[in-house]
Amino acid sequence: MSSDPSRNEAERLTFLRTDLNFLKSEIARRSGLQERALALYLAVVAFATIRVAAAEGLLLAVPAVWTAAWLTTVFWAREHLEIVRLAGVVRDRVATPAASILGCHPGALVPSEVWEGDEGIDSHTRSLHRQFQWIALVVIPSILTVVALWTRPVAISKLYHLKEPHVWLALVSVAAGVHIVCVLRGTRARQSGVAR
């Protein structure tokens, strides 16, 4: 860096712009991964729905949906937290120093990040997002489970035999369902700022 203050500021802004571009591309990459994970999960749901309707592969279809829902939930939550962290880095370590050099508010430089007093997503959009998550990751697997068990009472009777694989697959399904509910409730609490 040179000794000229204006040249130093210009060089620093160049570095900050490079950081901003990298962070924004990383946020976009992670968001794309979330979309692909959700698409893969929905493909598993479609496959399992066909299997449940055809009475084939019931032993694996329902636990597969619950396991896919669990993996999708954990992956989505992990990527969401990383996106929020990266947005904080953009806001605190890129926009704030750049704004001090340029003499403006950091929100004017990076309006896509959430600033104090701005909720980022309106309550209606947030509500639709939560509804989608609960329906896709809890309600659909629950309905498939009920339909599979309702139409096959013999499968229910096998749940009492501990040596049968049905028992262990049922336990995997229940454990995945409980964990999904906990993750979704925890995500909602973090977004609303209320600790649960």
Q: Would you state the structure tokens that stand for residue 26, as one six-digit string?
A: 């990383």
Q: Where are the domains of the chain?
A: 5-192
DSSP state of 118: -
DSSP state of 105: -
Residues whose CB falls within 8 Å of the CB of residue 34, separated by 6 or more in sequence, listed in order: 75, 76, 79, 80
Residue 141 phi, psi dihedral angles, 5° rounding = -60, -35
pLDDT tens for residues 138-196? 999 988 888 877 776 666 666 566 566 666 667 778 888 888 888 888 765 555 554 33
Q: Give the rounded distance of the alpha carbon of 99 from its chain centre.
A: 31
Q: What percent of the chain has pLDDT over 90?
A: 20
pLDDT tens for residues 179-192? 888 888 876 555 55
DSSP state of 43: H
